Amino acid sequence: MSDLEMVQRTITERVPFARELAVRIEQVGPDRAVASMPFATQRANHIGTVHAAAQFGLGETVAGALAFVAFADLQRAGYLPVVASASITYHRPAGGDLRAEATITPDEQARARAGIASEGKGRYTVQVAMTNAAGETVTEMRVDGALIIPRERKG
């Protein structure tokens, strides 16, 4: 199974909210992931554009997909990526289908791994840019994540 198939399947099976948003992971690698979300009236706001919460969900989902692949080896050791905090900037109304691109630098990946080695918990930052069908950036997001071993898994 390819990384793309594994991530899409994981999100579909384990993240019900991503299913509700109809997020589709299109590309995924160790430093970049791309996802899309089709426009639907149930994800619209009072002015007919994509609701802020739906945009946030798209950004958080693509950041999570990236973390799944970037830190796959650490997940095999029991660590799971979770969102610790996030900030989002809405540049313009987001109408129509959206595309989100998440990126993480090699330095951020190294920082997370160093944190695990020294503190047992790794932190990292993912940058997300969302664009409309015309390729205009409508929203930008910073997702600060943590790699943790869930309490029920700690020995």
The arithmetic mean of pLDDT across residues 26-51, rounded, is 96
- Residue 133 corresponds to which amino acid? A
What pLDDT digit, counting tens, does each position of 90-135 carry?
999 999 999 999 999 999 999 999 999 999 999 999 999 999 999 9
In whole angstroms, give the CA distance from residue 110 to residue 61.
Answer: 22
pLDDT of 50 over the 80 cut: yes
- The full 3-state SS of 99-150, as one line of letters, equals EEEEECCHHHHHHHHHHHHHHCCEEEEEEEEEECCCCCEEEEEEEEEEEECC
pLDDT at 153: 52
Q: Percent of the chain beyond pLDDT 70? A: 97
Q: What is the pLDDT of residue 15?
A: 87
Q: Is the pLDDT of residue 1 over 80?
A: no
Please name the residue that has the structure tokens 């995924």: 28
In this structure, of 8-17, 50-59, 65-74, 110-119, the range with the lowest mean pLDDT score is: 8-17
What was the pLDDT predicted at 7? 85
Query: Cβ atoms within 10 A of the Cβ of 52, count?
Result: 13
Q: Which residues of 112-146 are buried (b: 16+ CB within 10 A; e: fewer)?
A: bbebbeeeeebbbbbbbbbbbeeeeebbebebebb
- Which residue ranges make up each domain of the chain? 3-153
> What topology is assigned to 3-153 in CATH?
Thiol Ester Dehydrase; Chain A (3.10.129)
Are 138 and 98 in contact by the 8 Å Cβ rule? The answer is yes
CA–CA separation, 148 vs 150, rounded Å? 6
Task: For the beta carbon of residue 31, count every other beta carbon within 10 angstroms.
Answer: 15
> Average of pLDDT values for 65-71?
95
pLDDT at 154 over 90: no
